[in-house]
Amino acid sequence: MGLWCGSARAQAPSTAPTSAAQGEALFSGAVPLANRGPACIACHSAAGLRFPNGGTLGPDLTHVYSRMGPRGVLAALTTLYFPAMTPLYLRHPLAPPERRDLTAFLQQADTASPPRHATAFIAGMAGMLFLLLLGITARLGRTRLRGVRRRLLANARLAPRRSPPAPATKGETP
């Protein structure tokens, strides 16, 4: 614990002007929150973020700014009264500059196109990789059992042929 005392995390946040870029860095976790709370991207997604755009536990925050307005977003970031967020941020509240930067980022995200979910692309790539590996396995495994098959066929040819037993009729005992 003593090591954290002199770190940048323990220092008071700077009074830099509001920055959407700084808000994006806070949202994505590239810059840790001053009070060591979890990054927003762990549960939420928003437009403008790189793949994988964020979590799915919480709602997509792309258009939250137009729904709630600047005062509503700032109030929500101040109180964090949402049931899943309250225990996470009760002891790790957002600092006022972080709230302003996150509000600026959400305003910028509101004008961006919603995040593309890459699930279909990833599933397609996984399917193609599966087919490629299946083809390689079929090609390389084609000759794998040839020697065993040859011996089985040779033994079958050398073995005397036996005719199948005749079916038993009623009353006969074998």
**Domain at 67, CATH number:** 1.10.760.10
Range of the domain at 149: 119-155
Q: Are residues 72 and 53 located together in one domain of the fold?
A: yes
Mean pLDDT value across residues 78-106: 91
Mean pLDDT value across residues 20-27: 92
More confident residue, 81 or 33: 33
Among 98, 96, 112, 113, which Cα is nearest to 40's? 98
Cα distances from 23 to residues 16, 62, 66, 80, 126, in angstroms, run 12, 14, 17, 17, 34
138 located within any domain: yes
Q: Are residues 66 and 39 located together in one domain of the fold?
A: yes
Length of the chain: 174
Q: Is the pLDDT of residue 112 over 80?
A: no
Q: What is the biggest distance separating any 2 CA atoms in the chain, rounded to whole angstroms?
A: 105
Token pair of 22 as six digits: 């700084």
